[in-house]
Structure 1
Amino acid sequence: MALFVMIIRKMVQNKWLVSSMFFGILMTVALVGTMPIYSEAILSRMLVKDLETFQAEKNIYPGSHWALMGFYNEAPDKRTRIINDMDAYMERSAKPSFGIPTLELVKERRTKSVQLVAKGSQAIKKNTTATLRSFSDLDKHIKIEDGRLPSKTAVNGVYEVLLTSQALSSFKIVLGQEFTLKDDKIKGTVTIKPVGTFSKKSDDDPYFRSANLADLNNVFVVDAGLFDSEFTRGNKVPVTGSGWFFVLDYAKMNIGNVDDFIDTDKAIRNKAKSKVVTFQTEFNVPALDTINKYFERSKQLNKLMWSLNVPVLIMLGFYMFMVSNLIVDRQKNEIAILRSRGASRLQIVLSFAAEGVLLCGGAWLLGPFIGLGLTKVLGASNGFLEFVQRSSMTVRLNEDAYLYGGVAALTAFVMTLIPVLLATRVSIVDHKRQLARSQRMPFWHKAFLDVLCLAVSIYGLYTFDKRLKDMKSLGLNTDDLTIDPLQFVMPALFVVGGGLLLLRLYPYALKLVYWAGRKWWPPSLYATLIQVGRSNSQYQFLMVFLIMTIAIGVFSAGAARTLNNNTEERIRYSHGADFVLQSRWMNDAPPPPAPGAPSESATPAPKVIHYLEPSFDPFTKLEGVEQAAKVFIKQKAFFGAGSQTGTATLIGIDSDEFGLTAWLPNHLLDYPYYEYLNLMAADPRAVLISKSMADQRQVKVGDTINVGWDGIDSQSFVVFGIIEYFPTFNPNPPLGSVDASDDESKSNAPMLIVGNLSRIQFQLALEPYQVWLKMKPGSSTAALYENIEKLELPITSMINTKEDLIKAKNDPFMLALNGVLTLGFIISILISFVGFLLYWILSLKGRTLQNGIMRAIGLSLRQLIGMLALEQLLTSGVAILIGVLIGNFASELFVPNFQIAFNPSSLVPPFKVVFAAIDFIRLYAVVFVMMALGLGILSFMLSRIRVHQALKLGED
């Protein structure tokens, strides 16, 4: 207990240092704890979104699980036991094991197919067959269209049944008619009577496996209780199948319980297959494919999270080492005295270790809760230091958060003990000798860590560049958003190496400044230069720390802005305009054959299909439309240029309308792209061709080429210009189309011909074109949809660029990228601010006597504050400047490698590094506030120094 009290008193005496250390450990644990929390939250959100999309597109409820057991010739008693056993298993074991709420458990029974024989004078088609089925709780989910609900017991030996209207029409019977079931395995006489038709009570009710009840077209539905008593147990009609249909609330599905869902599915399959041998099973779980994809995405996202946080974790580790070193520096004299009086190294280390256990243990308990709050910051980010009102993610504190946090706390604990271990090696004599030799070279300069870090990072840069060139030139395939952790480690190493290298040169720059103006410097500046020059080594930690913070902030801003900008440009370029519409054209093509009809019965299509062009004018008057253009795209049009032939994509445009509608940045072409359109407008025969076509077929400006397509005779056109990019055109070889071992196949790049639409329609053929729309700023998409519906425009397909941009922004990888980079920078600034203040407060306290003497010999408070400001400028200011320069340089070198996150061969427009002024304004504003606030606090502390107290302290 006495030892514990001593440790607490020691921590109280160094409360500011200990608090700073605890803050750093806490932020480290919280940052690491956000990784599993965020991964689970974002992937759960996207999983539910994908399941919702699946339901909208396939009209199948994805939160369902269907299992069917089919019986063959089991004895009735055995079959009944199996069904009862499976009922109990599904209700008691499977239902609570899915991990998500069960909305319904539908128990279905079905008999074998039997023949219907009409009673009385009414006839029925010969050999008409049907099955009997029952569904638990059916009456809660249906409405009676005609007739009434059947009785729950046999009425005079007749079983009343329900059927759908489609079944009633298919059987060609009427309600109230009685039928006898005929089969060699039916015992006695079984008579049924349909008394009502039913339909769904709600169209979107997931209770039914079939959206339109098509699977009940030859089925009579018996009350569930009556079926079990008379058929399952009574065996009056052989039961050949029993099914269990779970309707689950998939909105509650997340990565935490998805394993339970899969395990329960496997358990149900194994249970069903283990019951009997002579039966068949059927399973249908719509969500399985989507879930399996997410396991792979989960791995990629975890790798991305770790990669993004590598630089910040390195900086936090450096911060903890710096603060721990400051704590130990203040106690080195005490440690040396204890060593000289017989204390062992182990005893001293254990005393510091006990302190570390308290700090790291507390951080481990609190850190994951803070990480829970930080996760919400990640979800609200829409760019670097940009936040939007986005629907909140469902987050929970999972076990992995504490596991990850525990590893981070343990690592922090080790980092804090390193300076202690180094300090315990020094005796009291060595300590005094070191104090007298403060101008010693730092360890990293002796070990040439700057050169080593730069060499490793430059080698990594060379490796990435080579890999990217191969992917682009060969059209190699790569998974979307494949992130290599080294993409983030290498820039961090470059920042550290570059910063240390410039700090190696900085003392020489200081000496040059001192020497250049030694005859003219005022006393305050002279004293500051002497102070900084002679104590350069003590500023090294702070300067390296600030360099890393600012450089990583600049790099993070550049990386986030570049990836966001290139993602947006890629989507805009691939679509070409804000909206791309395709309407239905009347034509003389024969209708497709009916489903199930033999292909020979289909009418052969004519060689040339004639189309009737719909009116274009309504598109120009749609709500919110600023400009509309006709764009005809013909894939695999053939061309001939002299002796050269080939196939290309033919695009027909009206140059004026197209130039006002389409999206294409001018930096992609040698000249502004509207100048190329003006060339086309001068001559209806004019065409633009792609650079790939000019290179592969040796076509040049002024050449005549013939263009046509299947069934259409070619016509001559004249080449007026050569372009490399055009909206929607990708000049790179298709993915996987190039063999790396075949040099000749590397020229397998797509080709393009752009011509005047009027000439194409008049000289070649009139075929359906797309309608491209450019919207007015701030226009409503909903209003456009309503207008299209009101005008009854026959739209067959629509591409909404804005919708795809929002979808890209909500992609889990882009959310992670923006969120983690933003969060990392905010944490960096907070840590930097705490470290900055801590260092200068300790520096001022250590120089109280010196500052008191300065006041005593006549320096005013203003001059002292000026000296302090100048000292900060020569240390912190220079470190920030170096950080900005290295951050920009690192961005220019390493950010282009981020295009490996996409399929580089399909990345059009070309990837480019983007810096936005607003990012730097935010960055510099935060840094300026930090410096100004720090200087204000230090100035206040300086003003509180009393000369007589400082001199008395010196006498003591």
Structure 2
Amino acid sequence: MALFIMIIRKMVKNKWLVSSLFFGILMTVALVGTMPIYSEAILSRMLVKDLETFQNERSTYPGQHWSMVGFYNESLERRQSVIETLDRYMEQSAAPGFGIPVKELVKERRTKSVRLVPEQEPDKKNALTTTLRAYSDFQKHIRLVDGRLPAQQPVDGVYEVLLTEQALIRFGLVLDQVMLLKDDGIQGTVKIKPVGMFTKLEYDDPYFRNSSLSDLGAAFVIDYKLFENEFIRGGKVPVSASGWYFVLDYTKMELRNVNDFIATDKAIRAEVQSRSAAFQSEFGAPTIPTIEKYFERSKQLGKLMWSLNVPVLIMLGFYMFMVSNLIIDRQKNEIAVLRSRGAARWQVVASFAIEGLLLCGLAWLIGPLIGLGLTKVLGASNGFLEFVQRARMTVRLNEQAYLYGGIAAGASFLMMLVPVLLATRVSIVGHKQQLARMQKTPFWHKAFLDVLALAVAFYGLYTFRNRLKDLQTLGLGADDLNLDPLQFVMPALFVVGGGLLILRLYPLMLKLIYWAGRKWWPPSLYATLIQVGRSSSQYQFLMIFLIMTIAIGVFSAGAARTLNINTEERIRYANGADIVLQSQWPNDKPPPAPPGAPAPEPVQTNKPVHYLEPSFDPFRTLTGVDEAAKVFVKDNAAFSAGDKTGTIKLIGIDTDDFGRTAWFPDYLLDYPLYEYLNLIASDPRGVLISRTMADQRGLQKGDTINIGWENVNYQPFVVFGIIDYFPTFNPNPPQGTVNSADKNGQGSAPMLVVGNLNRIQFQLALEPYQVWLRLKPGASTNDLYASMEEQKIPLISIVNTREELTKAKNDPFLLALNGILTLGFLISIVISFVGFLLYWILSLKGRTLQNGIMRAIGVSLRQLIGMLALEQLLTSGAAVLIGVLIGNLASRLYVPNFQIAFNPSSLVPPFKVMFEAIDFARLYSVVGVMLVLGLGILSYMLSRIRVHQALKLGED
């Protein structure tokens, strides 16, 4: 107990140092704790989004799960026992097991297929077959089209039923017509009477597994309880199957529910199959493949988050080591005295270990809660140091957050003990010798860790460059946005290695500055150079802090901006405009055969189809439209030029409208796009061809080429210009088409011809074209859609670039990139600021006597503050400058490797490293505020020094 009280008193005595150390541990635990919290939150949101997309694309409710057991020759008791057992299992075990709310549990019962004959013709041989079905809570989900609801008991021995309009037509019935069911397994005479025709109460009601009700086109629906009593227990008609259909609220699906969902699905299958070993069973969960892929995405996101946080974790490690070192430095005299008086090393270490356990344990309890708040910062980030109002993510603490936080706290604890172990090796004599020798070479310089880090970083750069070259040459690639975690680890090693290497040379630079002006320096500068030069090792922790903060910030800004802009430009280029529409054109094409009808007789295949062009004016007047253009695209056109032929992509445009509407960056071509458009606008025969076409077929400006396609006569055109890129055109060879004999892909690259739409329509053929729209700034796509409906424009397809951009921005990997880079930089700035203030405050307190003497011999406060500012310039200022240089160099070297994420063999526009002034303005503003604020606090402390107090301290 006495030891514990002594430790508490020691912590209170060094409260500022201990608080700073606790802050570093707390930030480490919080940062590491955000990883599992954020992974679960973002993947849960993306899972729900993907399930919504699944529903829209397939018209299938994604929250459904159904299973069915079939019967063959089982006894009545056996069937009843199986159905009742599975009913209990589904209600009591399966429903809670999914982990998400169950909207409906629909129990379905079916009889075997029986013949349906009129009551007046009981011996009819060619009767149609039907089944009787029953569904739990059926009447809550239907609307009667005609007739009434059936009775819940037989009426005069007749079972009343419902049917759909399709069944009414199929069987040729009228309501209230009595029919007989015939089959060998039927007990006695069974009569049914349709008394009502129904349809769904709500169009999108997920209660019905088959949304079109086509499965009820040959069936009758009977009251559920009546079915249970008469058929399952009474055995009037043999029961052939029983099913259970779960309607789950998939919007509440989270990543933590995925394991429960899949486990419950397997448990249901096992339970149903165990009860139906001798007969048929069926299952359905259409979204299982979509859900299962999130395990792999979760692993990838976890790797990405760890790699993104490596620089910040390295910095936090430096910070904790520095603060621990400062604490131990202030207590080295006590440690040396204790060791000289017989205290064992383990006893000294144990006292510090207890202190570390208290701090790390408290940080472990609080850290994940702070991580929960930091996760919300990640979700709101839309770029580096850029935040937007985005739909709030559902975040929650989970077990992994505390597990990861515990690991981080343990690592912090070990980091704290390293300076203690080193200090306990020194005796009282050795300690006094160290105080007299302030110039000491740091460990990383002795071990050449800077050279080692740079060697690993350059090896990683070499590996990435070779991999990138292979991808571009062989047409290889990857799907979606796939970021290699090492792409962030290697730049961090480069920053650390580069910073330490320059700090190795920094004392030499100071000596050079001192030597160059030793005859002219004023006393204040002379004293500052002496102070910094003789204590350079003391500044190096602080300087490496600032170097890493600035360098990683510059690299992060470049990486985030580059990935964001390249993602946006790739989508805009591929689409060509804000909105791309394809409308329905009247034509004389034979209509398709109706479903189920016999195939039509073969017709002449070379008969051309004639189209009637609809009015283009309605597109120009749509709400929110700024510009509109006609764009004719023929992917399988052909050309000939002498003995040279080939398949081309033909694009026909109105040059003026196209130039105003299409999106295209000017840096892709030698001249602005409008100059090329003006070339062909001057002559209807003029066309632009792609560089791939010119190289593969040896064409030049002024050559004449003939263009046409199937059923269309070839017409001559003249080459007016050669272009490398054009909206929507990808000049790279398709993936997998490059062989070893064609390393450059020149034999398989696509070819393009751009011509005037009017000439193509008049001399080749009039066929449907696309409509490209450019929207006004701030225009709503919802208003545009409403305007289309109002004008009743018949559309075949629509491409919305804004929606695709939003989807790309919400990709979990891009969100993680923007969020973690921003969060990591903000944490780095806070940590650096705290370390900056802590170091300089302790440094000023340690030099109180020196500063007091300077004031006593006539140095004014302004001169003293000037010396402090100069000292800051030589240390903090130099660190900022070094950080800027290393950060820019790291960006130039490593950011180009990020094009691997975009499949570089087919990336258009080509990958380009992007920097924007606003990013660096934010970065340098934050750092500038930190330095100015720190200098202000230190200046205030200097102004509070009293000469008589400093001199009295010297006498003591």
TM class by shorter chain equals: over 0.9
Counterpart of 1:295 in structure 2 is 295
Counterpart of 1:408 in structure 2 is 408
Paired amino acid for 1:337 = V
Provide, for residues 613-664 of structure 1, a one-character-per-residue CA deviation record: whole Å limited to 9, x for no partner: 1111221222222211111111122222333222121111122211111111
Query: What SS does the corresponding residue of 1:587 show, helix, strand or coil?
Result: coil
CA contact (8 A) 1:474 1:746 kept: no
Deviation (angstroms), 1:778:
1.9
The answer to whether the aligner puts 1:10 opposite 2:37 as a matched pair is: no
Provide, for residues 746-774 of structure 1, a one-character-per-residue CA deviation record: whole Å limited to 9, x for no partner: 64221111112122222211111111111
Paired amino acid for 2:845 = K
| Root-mean-square deviation (Å) | 1.6
Aligned in 2, Cα 1:470/1:208: closer, same or farther, shift over 3 Å?
A: same
The answer to whether the aligner puts 1:504 opposite 2:482 as a matched pair is: no
Aligned in 2, Cα 1:36/1:744: closer, same or farther, shift over 3 Å?
A: closer
Counterpart of 1:554 in structure 2 is 554
Counterpart of 1:516 in structure 2 is 516
Counterpart of 1:136 in structure 2 is 136
Paired amino acid for 2:263 = D
Query: What SS does the corresponding residue of 2:280 show, helix, strand or coil?
Result: strand
The answer to whether the aligner puts 1:756 opposite 2:756 as a matched pair is: yes
Query: What SS does the corresponding residue of 2:608 show, helix, strand or coil?
Result: coil
Counterpart of 1:658 in structure 2 is 658
Deviation (angstroms), 1:481:
2.1
Counterpart of 2:37 in structure 1 is 37
Provide, for residues 414-451 of structure 1, a one-character-per-residue CA deviation record: whole Å limited to 9, x for no partner: 11111111112222222222222211222222222222
Aligned in 2, Cα 1:244/1:409: closer, same or farther, shift over 3 Å?
A: same
Further displaced range: 598-607 or 362-371? 598-607
The answer to whether the aligner puts 1:872 opposite 2:872 as a matched pair is: yes
Q: Give the number of aligned pairs.
A: 956
The answer to whether the aligner puts 1:434 opposite 2:447 as a matched pair is: no
Deviation (angstroms), 1:408:
0.8
Deviation (angstroms), 1:605:
4.5
Identity across matched positions, percent:
73
Counterpart of 1:950 in structure 2 is 950
Counterpart of 1:695 in structure 2 is 695
Query: What SS does the corresponding residue of 2:208 show, helix, strand or coil?
Result: coil
Q: TM-score normalised to the size of structure 2?
A: 0.98
The answer to whether the aligner puts 1:159 opposite 2:186 as a matched pair is: no
Aligned in 2, Cα 1:666/1:299: closer, same or farther, shift over 3 Å?
A: same
Deviation (angstroms), 1:479:
3.0
Counterpart of 1:424 in structure 2 is 424
- Separation in structure 2 between the aligned mates of residue 305 and residue 736 of structure 1, nearest angstrom: 32
Deviation (angstroms), 1:855:
0.6
CA contact (8 A) 1:116 1:127 kept: yes
Paired amino acid for 1:493 = L
Query: After superposition, where does 1:272-283 map in structure 2 within 5 Å?
Result: 272-283=272-283
CA contact (8 A) 1:473 1:733 kept: no
Query: What SS does the corresponding residue of 1:60 show, helix, strand or coil?
Result: coil
Counterpart of 2:350 in structure 1 is 350
Deviation (angstroms), 1:125:
9.9
- Separation in structure 2 between the aligned mates of residue 780 and residue 399 of structure 1, nearest angstrom: 43
- Separation in structure 1 between the aligned mates of residue 125 and residue 700 of structure 2, nearest angstrom: 75
Aligned in 2, Cα 1:407/1:602: closer, same or farther, shift over 3 Å?
A: farther
- Separation in structure 2 between the aligned mates of residue 835 and residue 761 of structure 1, nearest angstrom: 72
Aligned in 2, Cα 1:400/1:602: closer, same or farther, shift over 3 Å?
A: farther
Query: After superposition, where does 1:514-593 map in structure 2 within 5 Å?
Result: 514-593=514-593
Query: What SS does the corresponding residue of 1:754 show, helix, strand or coil?
Result: strand
Counterpart of 1:934 in structure 2 is 934
Deviation (angstroms), 1:528:
0.9
Counterpart of 1:477 in structure 2 is 477
CA contact (8 A) 1:117 1:179 kept: yes
Deviation (angstroms), 1:906:
2.3
- Separation in structure 1 between the aligned mates of residue 83 and residue 106 of structure 2, nearest angstrom: 14
CA contact (8 A) 2:164 2:216 kept: yes
Gaps of 5+ in 1: none
Query: What SS does the corresponding residue of 1:779 show, helix, strand or coil?
Result: coil
CA contact (8 A) 1:852 1:951 kept: yes
Counterpart of 1:801 in structure 2 is 801
- Separation in structure 2 between the aligned mates of residue 417 and residue 425 of structure 1, nearest angstrom: 13
Deviation (angstroms), 1:583:
0.9
- Separation in structure 2 between the aligned mates of residue 123 and residue 575 of structure 1, nearest angstrom: 66
- Separation in structure 2 between the aligned mates of residue 700 and residue 419 of structure 1, nearest angstrom: 73
Aligned in 2, Cα 1:854/1:207: closer, same or farther, shift over 3 Å?
A: same
CA contact (8 A) 2:694 2:722 kept: yes
CA contact (8 A) 1:472 1:732 kept: no
Paired amino acid for 2:295 = F
Query: What SS does the corresponding residue of 2:255 show, helix, strand or coil?
Result: coil
CA contact (8 A) 2:606 2:711 kept: no
Provide, for residues 487-509 of structure 1, a one-character-per-residue CA deviation record: whole Å limited to 9, x for no partner: 11110011011111211222222
- Separation in structure 1 between the aligned mates of residue 607 and residue 200 of structure 2, nearest angstrom: 47
Provide, for residues 813-857 of structure 1, a one-character-per-residue CA deviation record: whole Å limited to 9, x for no partner: 111111111111111111111011000011001111111111111
CA contact (8 A) 2:186 2:236 kept: yes
Deviation (angstroms), 1:740:
4.9
Provide, for residues 843-881 of structure 1, a one-character-per-residue CA deviation record: whole Å limited to 9, x for no partner: 001111111111111111111111111111110011011
Paired amino acid for 1:295 = F
Query: After superposition, where does 1:154-233 map in structure 2 within 5 Å?
Result: 154-233=154-233
Query: What SS does the corresponding residue of 1:611 show, helix, strand or coil?
Result: coil
- Separation in structure 2 between the aligned mates of residue 153 and residue 780 of structure 1, nearest angstrom: 57
Further displaced range: 72-81 or 440-449? 440-449
Deviation (angstroms), 1:741:
7.1
Deviation (angstroms), 1:196:
1.5
Paired amino acid for 1:7 = I
Query: What SS does the corresponding residue of 1:670 show, helix, strand or coil?
Result: coil
- Separation in structure 2 between the aligned mates of residue 658 and residue 228 of structure 1, nearest angstrom: 68
Counterpart of 1:818 in structure 2 is 818
- Separation in structure 1 between the aligned mates of residue 327 and residue 602 of structure 2, nearest angstrom: 88
CA contact (8 A) 2:471 2:477 kept: yes
Query: What SS does the corresponding residue of 1:954 show, helix, strand or coil?
Result: helix
Provide, for residues 32-67 of structure 1, a one-character-per-residue CA deviation record: whole Å limited to 9, x for no partner: 111111111111111111111221222211111110
- Separation in structure 1 between the aligned mates of residue 90 and residue 609 of structure 2, nearest angstrom: 58
Provide, for residues 86-130 of structure 1, a one-character-per-residue CA deviation record: whole Å limited to 9, x for no partner: 111111111111111111111110001111121248999941221
- Separation in structure 2 between the aligned mates of residue 327 and residue 369 of structure 1, nearest angstrom: 28
Q: TM-score normalised to the size of structure 1?
A: 0.98
Provide, for residues 670-697 of structure 1, a one-character-per-residue CA deviation record: whole Å limited to 9, x for no partner: 1112111111112222211111122222
CA contact (8 A) 1:453 1:496 kept: yes
CA contact (8 A) 1:303 1:483 kept: no
Query: After superposition, where does 1:246-325 map in structure 2 within 5 Å?
Result: 246-325=246-325
Aligned in 2, Cα 1:172/1:652: closer, same or farther, shift over 3 Å?
A: same
CA contact (8 A) 1:669 1:725 kept: yes
- Separation in structure 1 between the aligned mates of residue 432 and residue 199 of structure 2, nearest angstrom: 94
Query: What SS does the corresponding residue of 1:873 show, helix, strand or coil?
Result: helix
Aligned in 2, Cα 1:604/1:58: closer, same or farther, shift over 3 Å?
A: farther
- Separation in structure 2 between the aligned mates of residue 348 and residue 693 of structure 1, nearest angstrom: 79
- Separation in structure 2 between the aligned mates of residue 686 and residue 594 of structure 1, nearest angstrom: 45
Query: What SS does the corresponding residue of 1:382 show, helix, strand or coil?
Result: strand
- Separation in structure 1 between the aligned mates of residue 501 and residue 746 of structure 2, nearest angstrom: 43
CA contact (8 A) 1:380 1:388 kept: yes
The answer to whether the aligner puts 1:392 opposite 2:392 as a matched pair is: yes
